[in-house]
Structure 1
C-alpha cells in the first residue's frame, strides 16, 4: 500500500482523511446501564435505618451514630453506604476497616489471603492515597461479597454483543441523510504539496461554513470543483427506535442480573406496588442481610448476640402509617398482636405504656381478661 501511495500524492491525500475511521464499541452504553442500576440500588440502601439493640431495647450509642450519621471525618452515612454499594456492584466485594480513632473507612485496594481453617488476612490496605502498614484479620474488618461470581465478566460478555450491534446501528443512522461532498482538482494542484495544504485549509473552512451556517456561499476557483451528494434512504425515526431498543435491551439485562424490576427504572406506574415488593424482597433485603450478618458477627460477641445485643437494619418503607391503618386495626382488635409488636413491625420503637403489651379483642378493644370476667359474671 505504501508503494502505491508514494506514486500518487493525490491518492495518498485522500487515504489520509480521518473521515473513514469507525469506532463500533460504545463504552458509554455499558457505563450508563451499570451506573443506572447501581445508583438505583445505592439510593435505596442508603436510606435504611441502622439500629443498635442492647438487651432487647434500641440504643443510640457511638456505633449507631457512625452507621447512621458520620462513619468517618469525610463522609456522611448516605454517601458512605452508596459507595459501599458501588464497590460491591463493580468489584463484587467491599472491605470496611476501622481506624485507630474508630472511623469506618472503605478500602480502595487490598490483598486478601484466604485460609481454610484459620482467619483470612488482609494486607496492603489502601484508603485513598494512604496505605496501612499493618495487616487486618477477618474478625477486625467488615468484608462483604455481592455474589458468588463477579458481575463484571457477565456484563462484559453481554456488552460484546450489544455493543457491536449498537455501534453498527449508530453508524448506519449517521450514514442516512448524510451530505457527502467531493472535490475535483487538476493534476498540477495535486502534485504541489504546498498547494494541497492550502486547499485542505480552504476545504476545512468551507466544511465548517456548510455545517454551522444556514446559508453558505462557496466561491468557485480555477482548477477546483465542489459537488455535494445527498445520501437518502430509509426511515430515520425507525433507525433511532432500533438504537433505543438495543440500549433498553442491554439495560434490561443488567437490571435482571441485579434483580431490579425494569418498570421501576423506567418509572412505570402500572403494578408499582407489586414491583416494589419484588424489588425490596429480592434485591434490597438480601443486600441488607449481608451487611447485617457481617456486622453482627464483627461488632458483637456470641454471648451478647444471644442476650439480645444486635444490629437491626430497617429498610426504607414504601407504605405510610395511613396506608396500613386498617390492617393494624384488624391485627390488634383480633387479639393476635399487641400494640408494641405492631410498632416494631412498622419500624417504630416500643412504647413504655404497659397497655401496649396487652392483647385486646373485639372492636371495642376490651381487655381479654375483662371480657372473660364479664362472661363469668353472667
Structure 2
C-alpha cells in the first residue's frame, strides 16, 4: 500500500471499516487461542481416564462400561467423546448428553432449557449436527452438566478487548518490519501540480509492485528518482517479535489461572513438576471429574443401588502410582490401618477375590490381629531364632 491512496475519501472509508473488523477479529482470535490451548489440555487429560462401573466393590464389565470406555455412539470413540464433552462443558459453561433410542450417548450441539421451580426442567429444540429432535427431554432422561463458571466469557471479553487492540497493533508492526519502506525524492519535485502528481504517483506504484510480496526484488536505478531506505533494523524487529510472543504467553496464563491450571505446566516447564501436577489434579482435574461422576451416578443408578455400592468411579491422572508409593502402602498394611484390598483400591486397582486380602495385619512380622497372644509370641521367638541361626 502506498501513501497516495490515503488522499481518496472513498478508500479511506473502506479502510476505517476494515480497521474495525480487524480489531474485532484480533480480539476473537486471542480469546480463542488462549481458550483452545487451556481447554484442550484439560480435555485430553479427562479423555484418558477410565470410567469404572462398580458393583459390590468390583468392576462390572457391562454394556454401560462399554459405552463409557469404548464406543459411546456409532460415530465416535470414547476418547473423542469425552474430549469433546469437556471442551464444550468449559467453553459453553454447560453440556447436554442425550441417550438415543438405541442407547447411544450423543452430545447436543444446541438446545433450549425450560426451567421450572418445583418440577423437572425440560429441554427442547435439541439439535445434533443437522438433526433436531421433535420431542422434548426431561431432566431425568438426559445427562446435563453445568460448569458453574458463568463469568468466564464475560471476564475474557472485557480482558481481551484491550488485548485485542494492542495485539493488532503489534502484529501490524511486526509484519511491516519485513517490508521495504522508503522515501522517494524526485528531481522535479516541489511543484505539485496535477500532472506532476499523477506522473509521480504512477512511478511510485510501479516501483512498489516490485517490492510487494517478493522475498527478492530488483529495481532499476532510474535517473531523476532517489530512494531512501527507511526500513526498520533487525534489532527492533526482534524486540517486537519477542514482545508479541510474551503477550500471547501472558494471555494463556490468565485463562489457565481461571481454570485452575498451573501456568508452568501449560507451557511445558518441568521445574517442580511433582508439586505442579498435584496442584493441577487437586484444583482442576478432580473438580471436573466430580461433576461428571455425580451426574453419571445420579442418572444411571437409583438411590438404593448407589447405597448398596453401585456407582461409577473415574480413574485417570489422579491415580496414585503404586511403585512410587510402595513404602507408604507397606506402612498402611503393617500398621493394621488398611487391609491389602483396601490399599489396592487406594492405588486404583481392583480388589482381589481372596478372603486373606481383606484381613488386617500388624507389626513388621505381618501377624493377623485375630491371632491369640501365644501364637504371636511363638512366631516372634521363631523369627528371633531364625535370625540368630542365619
TM-score, structure 2 as length reference: 0.83
**Equivalent residue for 1:212, pick from 208, 212, 215:** 215
CA 123–305 in structure 1, closer or farther in 2 if over 3 Å, else same: same
Partner of 2:206: 202
CA 247–371 in structure 1, closer or farther in 2 if over 3 Å, else same: farther
Matched, 1:188 2:195: yes
Q: How does 1:198-277 map to 2 (within 5 A)?
A: 202-208=206-212, 211-213=214-216, 216-218=218-220, 220=222, 225=225, 227-232=227-232, 235-277=236-278
CA 294–130 in structure 1, closer or farther in 2 if over 3 Å, else same: same
| Matches of 1:9 and 1:376, distance apart in 2 | 102
| Matches of 1:103 and 1:375, distance apart in 2 | 58
Match of 2:65, SS state, is: helix
8 Å contact from structure 2 (residues 320, 346) kept in 1: no
8 Å contact from structure 2 (residues 53, 310) kept in 1: yes
By how many angstroms is 1:151 displaced?
1.8
By how many angstroms is 1:375 displaced?
4.7
Partner of 2:137: 136
8 Å contact from structure 2 (residues 183, 230) kept in 1: no
| Matches of 2:226 and 2:109, distance apart in 1 | 57
Match of 1:110, SS state, is: strand
Matched, 1:112 2:116: no
By how many angstroms is 1:216 displaced?
1.4
By how many angstroms is 1:208 displaced?
3.7
By how many angstroms is 1:189 displaced?
6.5
Spell out, residue by residue over 1:169-192, the C-alpha distance to the aligned partner (whole angstroms, 9 max, x if none). 334445558531345678536558
Partner of 1:287: 288
CA 177–129 in structure 1, closer or farther in 2 if over 3 Å, else same: closer
Match of 1:228, SS state, is: strand
**What's the Cα RMSD here?**
3.1
8 Å contact from structure 1 (residues 181, 226) kept in 2: no
Match of 2:44, SS state, is: helix
By how many angstroms is 1:220 displaced?
2.5
| Matches of 1:101 and 1:61, distance apart in 2 | 16
- Which stretches of structure 1, 4 residues or more, deviate above 6 A after TM superposition? 13-21
| Matches of 1:17 and 1:369, distance apart in 2 | 91
| Matches of 1:119 and 1:24, distance apart in 2 | 44
By how many angstroms is 1:164 displaced?
2.0
Q: How does 1:90-169 map to 2 (within 5 A)?
A: 90-169=91-170
8 Å contact from structure 1 (residues 333, 365) kept in 2: yes
CA 10–355 in structure 1, closer or farther in 2 if over 3 Å, else same: closer
| Matches of 1:10 and 1:368, distance apart in 2 | 92
Match of 2:181, SS state, is: strand
* Larger mean Cα displacement after TM superposition, 334-343 or 316-325: 316-325
Unaligned runs of 5+ residues in structure 1 are 1-7
Matched, 1:313 2:317: no
| Matches of 1:339 and 1:242, distance apart in 2 | 56
8 Å contact from structure 2 (residues 286, 318) kept in 1: no
